[in-house]
Amino acid sequence: MRVVHVVESLEIGGAERLVVDLAGLQSKRGHTASIACLFREGPLAARARAVGIDVKNCEKSSGMDLGAVLRLRNWLRMKKPEVLHTHNPAAHYYAVAAEVGLRIGRVINTRHGMGLEGAGGRRELLFRAAMRRTDCAVAVCEAARKSFVDRGSIAKDKAVTIPNGIDLTRFAPENELAKRTLLASLSVPGSPLVFGSVGRLNAVKEQVTMLRAFHKFVQQVPVVGGAPGPAAILVIAGDGELRDALEQERGLLGLDENVFLLGQRDDIPQLLAGFDAFVLSSRSEGYSLALVEAAATGLPIVATDVGGNAEIVQDEATGLLVPPGSPDAMAAAMRRLFDNADERLRMGAAGRLWAQENGSIEAMYERYMTLYQGPSPEPGMIAVGGGRG
């Protein structure tokens, strides 16, 4: 099967990594997969090419760009895809404009978040218009599917839920050697409990809540006389526009000695294996790959109860869910995990089992391939409608 994926870019992010992994697995299984980037390529383009995936840069400029439509149309004409699989709104309506008259068999869109940012703007209006020429629209969690249908962004008979998946072989269980390696790299003495997080440093991820929660937690933890180093540290991997603001907040809270902002990292599986618990403070999420990766590593999780997080983190079983924007609730959850080693182990083991049963890229691949081949989803999925028009 010939598949062309269309994305806004291949910058470093969960959705972008997922597209590269999915296209790579499709190629490995004997299909022809390629990726078109609407705005620019980004660092993950090299990773895609390294596994034999052809990448096209459509070089879209700001505003409406008919040149980008023509460049994408020429690419589609050359690739002759049987399936056009777009990701998120702008990539979708540009691709739909480009494919008119090319007789592509199936047009599929995946929305990788909740779509709440700019829900009433021009992008969303253009996306809704493009849905008329779309066979199926995929939401990555059931909460997102219901939200898109309720808001009228996606017709109920075209909506399907396919959870994101990861390559589970890349994620070994958390272990003491990885933790010692991490602490040594940070020059942290002793053996503090390591709370960790991975994600873009932006307003949606709201790491400032995490910092304030950790500050409250540190104030509650009794100081052990004579013990080397801090009782706990917080490690955040990722970069983004709020890096400077978070560094300033860390200083204001007096956390320079036990909060570490690592920046962008390419060794996330190794980092996760050095954590004792994972924390996510987002105010909006679709289906977080970071949470799936944390579960696959066997980490107990503290996460905000937003979007699809509750479809990954089973409250009291694999982690603890807290309200968004509440440093007090997050601090209390962190304190609970700090005080209960047995509970950390129990939750981590349950999370790893959940990931093995529900979080694999192979399961996601099979669901997409079924969707590509016809209008009916596999049993247990949300019903898909009858096509374009």
Read off the pLDDT of residues 305-351 as tens digits, 9 standing for 90 and up: 999 999 999 999 999 999 999 999 999 999 999 999 999 999 999 99
Distance from C-alpha of 276 to C-alpha of 83, rounded to nearest angstrom: 42
User: How far apart (Å, rounded) are the C-alpha atoms in residues 366 and 221?
Assistant: 47
CA distance 346 to 290: 20
Structure tokens at 274: 């050095």
**pLDDT per residue as tens digits for the range 65-122:** 899 999 999 999 999 999 999 999 999 999 999 999 999 999 999 999 887 665 567 8
User: Which has more confidence, 46 or 174?
Assistant: 46
Q: How far is CA 293 from the centre of its chain?
A: 10
CA–CA separation, 103 vs 131, rounded Å?
A: 16
d(C-alpha 196, C-alpha 270), whole Å:
12
- Which helix (H) or strand (E) covers residue 112, if one does? none
Question: 10 Å Cβ neighbour count for 50?
Answer: 10
Query: What is the rounded average pLDDT of the residues 224-246?
Result: 87
Confidence of residue 227 (pLDDT cuts 50, 70, 90): low
- pLDDT given for residue 385 in this prediction: 36
Q: What is the pLDDT of residue 226?
A: 58
pLDDT computed for residue 225 by the predictor: 54
- CA pair distance 206, 281, nearest whole angstrom: 6
Question: Is pLDDT of 43 > 60?
Answer: yes
- The listed CATH number (3.30.2130.10, 1.10.40.30, 3.40.50.10800, 3.40.50.2000) that belongs to domain 2-165+360-373: 3.40.50.2000
Residue 145 vs residues 36, 153, 376, 381, 383: alpha-carbon distances, Å:
25, 10, 17, 11, 11
Q: What pLDDT sits at residue 309?
A: 95
Q: Averaged over 353-381, what is the pLDDT? A: 82
User: Which range, 118-122, 228-232, 251-255, is most confident?
Assistant: 251-255
N- to C-terminal Cα separation, the chain: 24
Contact 268, 171 (CB under 8 A): no
Domain 168-358 is of which CATH architecture?
3-Layer(aba) Sandwich (3.40)
Lowest mean pLDDT among 134-148, 165-179, 329-343, 367-381: 367-381
Helix 14-28, helix 361-373: angle, nearest 10: 70
**3-class state of residue 302 by DSSP:** strand
H helices of the chain, in order, are 14-28, 44-50, 66-79, 89-99, 122-130, 142-151, 176-185, 207-220, 243-252, 268-273, 289-296, 327-339, 341-358, 361-373
For the packed helices 89-99 and 122-130, what is the interaxial angle rounded to 10 degrees?
A: 40
- Which residue type is seen at 152? G
Topology agreement, domain 2-165+360-373 and domain 168-358:
yes
What does the alpha-carbon distance between residue 319 and residue 277 come to, in Å, rounded to a whole number? Answer: 9
**Mean pLDDT taken over the chain:** 92
Q: Count of alpha carbons within 13 Å of 273, Cβ hemisphere only?
A: 14
DSSP 158: G
Q: For residue 383, what pLDDT band results from cuts at 50, 70 and 90?
A: very low
Distance (Å, whole) CA 277 – CA 301:
6
135: enclosing H helix or E strand: none
Domain residue ranges in the chain: 2-165+360-373, 168-358
The CA distances from residue 324 to 26, 201, 202, 248, 321, in Å, are: 37, 16, 15, 22, 9
Instruction: Yes or no: say if 137 and 159 are a contact pair by the CB < 8 Å rule.
Output: yes
Q: Say which range, 24-38, 212-226, 298-312, 315-329, has the weakest mean pLDDT.
A: 212-226
Stretch 366-374: mean pLDDT: 92
User: Given this model, what pLDDT does residue 384 score?
Assistant: 36
